[in-house]
Amino acid sequence: MSADQNAQRSVLSKKLRSSLEQAGNFVRKRKKLNTALVVSSVISSAAATLIAGLTAAQGPVVGTGTEGWRMACTAAAVFGFSATVSSGISQQLKVNEKLVLGTQCLKQLQTLDIGLSTGSKDIDEAAQEYRDIVHTYPEMMS
């Protein structure tokens, strides 16, 4: 391998490592956001259902009469609203879709890194593959 190819391999390897870090950060952030939104949605939905179900089965748990019903309905409505908002935010931000794309990008970068590190990838082939990945997943590289 020539000195020029070694220099090219070194430059590409540095770019690749930087992209791996960026894509890894992107995936970690999306996983955290996805988990938070899913947990919020599930807990809120379950709480609304539990409050509504208990109140329907045995009357207001807190308070009595009209005030008790009002409090129970308000609590169920607030939890239902929270579940709807969490789900809506997840869909609007396309969290799942971006998480999948980020994971695909990360895996492709890792595979390319292994190929470059072991020398099983020709430098020109690796450089083209890297350009293709950057072009396909621009959001993960910024």
Asked whether residue 123 carries a pLDDT value surpassing 70, the answer given is yes
Mean pLDDT computed over 123-134: 94
For the stretch 7-34, pLDDT in tens is: 888 899 999 999 999 999 999 999 999 9
Residue pair 30/95 in contact (Cβ under 8 Å)? The answer is yes
Burial code (b: 16+ CB inside 10 Å, e: under 16) for 55-69 equals beeeebeeeeeeeee
Helices (H) and strands (E) in the chain, counts: 4, 0
pLDDT score of 1? 58
**102: nearest Cα among 94, 92, 91:** 94
Summarised one tens digit per residue, pLDDT across range 30-50 is 999 999 999 999 999 999 999
Average pLDDT, integer, range 115-130:
92
The radius of gyration of the chain's CA atoms, rounded to the nearest angstrom, is: 25
